[in-house]
Structures are given as structure tokens and as C-alpha cells.
Amino acid sequence: MNKSELMSIIEQYGLRPNKKLGQNFLVSNAVLDKIINIIGISSDDRVLEIGPGLGALTGRMVEVAEGVTAVEIDSGLYRYCAERFRGKNNIRLIHADFLKLDLADTFTKFVSNLPYYCSSEILFRITRYSAPHVYVTLQKEMADRIIAGPGNKTYGALSVTLGFYYQPTILFGVSRESFYPRPEVASSLVRLVRRRRLPLSGGDIDIFHMVVKSAFWGRRKTILKALSESPHLQAGREGAARSLAAARIDGGRRGEDLTLDEFVSLAEACRDLRGEQLT
């Protein structure tokens, strides 16, 4: 779908890109072809697409996939897609906010052009599902945060949390001119490959999330101070010091400098606090 085709559809159906929802539609067929080739949709794939928009990517996936579930929050875009894909038996359109949905965990791939205002919330929610592959187009700044390592100024809770569940890769950059309306910054296509075995399981995963949130809730704090004062992990100074010692982590270091493996070790060390001081 090029820009002239998109403008014709917008005018015909009385649609307007919603700035509040961060709607920027892909109008480069070259980029669309590149994304489709990389995603590699097969006849066995059950795809979840978050925000199909005008269905440029959706239409290509429906041609091949076993099934496509497309979740669209915008009523106008939902009505357009319902009309466009009427009669297609392998697509399910849902008019809803993905962040408020509880879908069955049956998908093989997640695909989305994520709006910046809620990208992190959607990515955190996606971790609940076991789909082996996730492909998301998002603003370059967010992509850089996802792949950042310890010591990098953009390294944070998003980097650690997604790294726990996935192996992330930036596949290629997408220019502003590839979208309408043109966004203020460039974008990147990111692939997230689900880890076959997570470093932790069961209740330890909940502790891990609390530890990560605690480490970054006050940037530049030492890890001892961050854990001691965190509203997420009510361990107190003594409990925090004991856990750090057990994990062999110097309390004078900062969360921004800890590796994923160290966060995992710290979560394991905090296990004894569960049910006593953690909330």
C-alpha cells in the first residue's frame, strides 16, 4: 500500500490518523516486502497482530497463514478491516484494547507496528505468551533500549525483562518517510526469539520482576539502597544486604551495571524473603 492508495482509503472512509493512539501507517511497499520476507509466514503459523491499521501487513499474512488474529482498538479502522477481510475464513478481528485482553496462548508469531506511547506496556504483556517469535516495528530509541547492555545509558528494566524471556535483535532501520503521517523519529524492526528455557520458574519469576523494578525505580542509586528503599520489594536494609551477599553482588554497585545473570542470582537469593517481607 503506497501513500496515494492510503490517502484514497482515508478519504473514502472518513478516517483520520489518531495522534493520541500513535497511528503511523506503513506506506512503503519495499519495506513491507522486506518485513514479510523476514517474518517468513508459513501455512502452519497462527499469528497475532496488534494494531492492523488499514491491513497492509495483515493482507499479506492472511494469504499464507493458518490463521491471523488482529486486535484493533480504533473503531474506524476496525470497521474498515472488517469490510476489507469479509469472507476470509482464516482471520479473526477483535475490536479491543490488547492490554485489556486475555487471549488463549495458541500463537506461533506476534507481529505489530507498536505506537510509542504504550510500546513498553504491550511488550511486557506479550511476555505472558509463549509464541516463539515476535516481530515489532517501533521507534529506534525504544529498540536501542531493548538491546542495550549493562553500563549503557539506555539499559534499564525493559532491557533486563525482555532479555529474560527473549533473545532480541534489531533487524533493520525504517526511515520516517516510510510512514504516513511521518513520525518525528526513525523506527526499527526488532525480532524477539523466545528462550526455550527461562532462567527461573514459578514464583521465582515474580521475585525476579520485583527485583528488577526495585533496581531501576530510582536510577543512580546503589543496588543496596535501591532494594532497601524500593516500594516494590520491602526487604529492608538487612534483608537486602543479606540477599546481595548471597548473590555475591557488591551493594555499592548500581542496577544499571548488573547483568541478566546477576539479576537472576539476586532473585534466587531473595527467595527466602518471599512470604515474609515481599509484597
The pLDDT-based confidence of 22 (bands split at 50, 70, 90) is confident
Q: Are residues 171 and 214 in the same domain?
A: no
d(CA 51, CA 56): 11
How do residues 214-265 score in pLDDT, each as one tens digit? 999 877 899 999 999 988 887 789 999 999 999 999 999 999 999 999 999 9
Q: Which of 135, 162, 194 is the last residue of a domain?
A: 194
> What does the pLDDT read at residue 279?
43
Average pLDDT, the chain: 93
Q: Are residues 77 and 210 in the same domain?
A: no
75 close to 98: Cβ distance less than 8 angstroms: no
d(CA 267, CA 263): 6
d(CA 49, CA 26): 14
Q: Which residues pair with 94 in a beta bridge?
A: 71
> What 3-state DSSP class applies to 20?
helix
Q: Which residue has the higher pLDDT, 6 or 16?
A: 6
Q: Which residue has the higher pLDDT, 178 or 2?
A: 178
Q: Are residues 75 and 210 in the same domain?
A: no
CATH at 229: 1.10.8.100
> What does the pLDDT read at residue 219?
75
How many residues would you count in the chain? 279
Determine, yes or no, domain membership for 278. no
239 close to 277: Cβ distance less than 8 angstroms: yes
> What does the pLDDT read at residue 278?
46
Q: Are residues 119 and 12 in the same domain?
A: yes
Q: How many domains does the chain have?
A: 2
Could you give the angle at the alpha carbon of 41 between the alpha carbons of 1 and 140, nearest 5°?
60
212 close to 233: Cβ distance less than 8 angstroms: no
CB atoms within 10 A of CB 231: 10
Q: What is the largest CA-CA distance in the chain?
A: 66
Task: Spell out where the chain has E strands.
Answer: 25-26, 46-50, 67-72, 91-95, 109-113, 133-139, 166-174, 179-180, 187-194
Compute the average pLDDT of residues 27-56: 96
69 close to 103: Cβ distance less than 8 angstroms: yes
Determine, yes or no, domain membership for 112. yes
Residue-number span of the structural domain to which 233 is assigned: 203-273
Q: Are residues 219 and 119 in the same domain?
A: no
69 close to 51: Cβ distance less than 8 angstroms: no
Q: Are residues 23 and 143 in the same domain?
A: yes
Q: Which of 176, 194, 212 is the last residue of a domain?
A: 194
Backbone dihedral angles phi then psi of residue 57, each to the nearest 5 degrees? -75, -40
Q: Are residues 120 and 98 in the same domain?
A: yes
Q: Are residues 222 and 129 in the same domain?
A: no
